[in-house]
Amino acid sequence: MSQNYHIVCLTGTREKLQMAAMFASVAAATGDRVTVFFSMNALPFFIKNSVQQPPVESRFGEMIESEVGVPPFKQLFKSAAELGDAKLLPCSMALDLLKITKEALDPEFGPPTGLTRFLNDAEGGQLLTF
Amino acid sequence: MSEFKTIDARNTFCPGPLMELITYMKQAAVGDTLELLSTDNGTASDVPEWIDKVGHEMISSEKVGEVWHMKVRKLK
């Protein structure tokens, strides 16, 4: 039976973004409905053509960076959207603070979303926070 | 005429091989057989789980040396 997952990405570190992307891609490709809400320090890494890389928290982040065979988190989020119709939603407040519009983000991103809308959609589903 | 395709996902980590399989599964026709090659041990338990949940057929899974060979058939 398919589930309804809402993933909240807040922390802009390699480990958190990687784990959130793994959850999103596998769940979406398995037929679960996945919505990922990006805010705070996690959002700026999805600005188009951004070369900025998230800092590592500790040893695992370093291992992820040094192994060439680890799928990059951006690619996993993209797969989640393309293979499993996951919705990637930027927080409207974070866009306002960054003084950018949705067009400045990677093309997989959906419309700017406020908390009221997100909470309404998330009702009754699973919420995972990174 | 059903086809056979090998997907070489060796030396990539979870969930890389599974995502590769899913990508090719979407493009395959019903009845096609796909063989996934993987060196990731987690993938060897994840793939049968995914196949079961999504409703395809697991034909075989064996480790030859360091490489898992997993054969699956697209059923729908």
Per-residue pLDDT of chain B (76 residues; tens, 9 = 90+): 789 999 999 999 999 999 999 999 999 999 999 999 999 999 999 999 999 999 999 999 999 999 999 999 999 9
B13 vs A29: CB contact, 8 Å cut-off? no
**CB within 8 A of A11, min separation 6: which ones?**
A17, A40, A41, A42, A130
- Residues spanned by the domain of B40: 4-73
Of the candidates A30, A67, A79, the beta carbon closest to that of B50 is on A30
A76 vs B19: CB contact, 8 Å cut-off? yes
**CB within 8 A of A104, min separation 6: which ones?**
A47, A48
**Selected residues 40-69 of chain A with any CB under 8 Å from a CB in chain B:** 67-69
**CATH hierarchy code of domain A4-125:** 3.40.1260.10
What type of residue is A4?
Answer: N
In sequence order, which ranges of chain A are alpha helices (DSSP H)?
A: 14-29, 59-66, 73-84, 92-98, 115-122
pTM of the predicted protein model: 0.93
Of the candidates A22, A29, A71, the beta carbon closest to that of B12 is on A71
**Number of domains within chain B:** 1
Lookup: tokens for B17: 């091989």
